[in-house]
Amino acid sequence: MNSGNQSDATLGQVIEVLEDLYPIRLAEDWDHVGLAVGDRSAPVRRICFAVDATYATITEALDWGADLIVTHHPFLFSAVHSVSTDTDRGHIIHQLIAGGCALYTAHTNADSAQGGVNDALADLIGLQDTTPLVPDSQDPTCGLGRVGKLEHSLSLRDLAQRLADAIPVTAQGVRVAGDLGARVSTVAVLGGSGASLLDAAVNANPDVYITSDFKHHDALDAREAAHHRSATAAGIGQTPYLIDTAHYASEWPWLPVAASAVKTAMEQRGYSMDTWVSTLRTDPWTARVQPKGGTA
Instruction: Give the pLDDT mean for 124-142.
Output: 98
Q: Is residue 220 part of a domain?
A: yes
| Domain closes at, from 223, 245, 267 | 245
| Whether residue 237 is found in the same domain as residue 259 | no
Lowest mean pLDDT among 115-119, 226-230, 232-236: 232-236
239 and 149 fall within a common domain: yes
Q: Does position 65 have pLDDT exceeding 80, yes or no?
A: yes
User: 172 with 63, same domain?
Assistant: no
More confident residue, 56 or 76: 56
Q: Which residue has the higher pLDDT, 87 or 95?
A: 95
Report the percent of the chain where pLDDT is more than 70.
96
The reply to whether 55 and 152 lie within a common domain is: no
Enclosing domain of residue 51: 9-110+252-277
- Please check whether residues 29 and 98 belong to one and the same domain: yes
The CATH code of the domain that includes 172 is 3.40.1390.30
Which among 91, 111, 114 has a CA at the least distance from the CA of 37? 91
- Cα dist. 154→131, 160, 187, 196, 208 in Å? 20, 10, 11, 26, 11
Distance CA 182, CA 149 (A): 16
Does residue 282 form part of some domain? no
How far CA 128 is from CA of 124, 150, 151, 268, in Å, comes to: 11, 6, 7, 28
pLDDT at position 70 is 98
Model confidence at 72: pLDDT above 80:
yes
Q: HSE on the CB side for 201, CA within 13 Å?
A: 26
- The answer to whether residue 294 is domain-embedded is no
**What does the DSSP 8-state code read for residue 4?**
-
Band of pLDDT at residue 6, cut at 50, 70 and 90? low
What integer is the mean pLDDT of 8-19?
A: 98
Is the pLDDT score of 78 beyond 90? no
Residue 62: what residue type?
A: L
Cα(127)–Cα(239) distance, integer angstroms: 18
More confident residue, 81 or 64: 64
**Please, which pLDDT band fits residue 1 given cuts at 50, 70 and 90?**
very low
Higher pLDDT, 86 or 171: 171
Residues 140 and 231 in one domain: yes
With left for phi above 0 and alpha for psi between -120 and 50, is residue 213 left, alpha or beta? left
Is residue 228 domain-resident?
A: yes
* pLDDT at residue number 289: 92
- What's the total number of domains in the chain? 2
Lowest mean pLDDT among 7-16, 217-226, 243-252, 287-296: 287-296
Q: Are 82 and 138 members of one domain?
A: no
74 and 147 co-located in one domain = no
pLDDT, position 294: 67
Is 182 in the same domain as 95? no
DSSP state of 168: P
Q: Are residues 233 and 263 in the same domain?
A: no
pLDDT at position 92 over 60: yes
Helices (H), 39-115: 55-64, 88-98, 108-112
Stated pTM of the model = 0.93
Task: With residue 214 as reference, give the H or E element that holds it.
Answer: none
Sign of the alpha-carbon torsion through 152, 155, 160, 162: negative
Residues in the chain: 296
User: Are 132 and 222 in a shared domain?
Assistant: yes
Q: Could you tell me if 105 and 121 lie in one domain?
A: no
Residue 143 pLDDT:
98
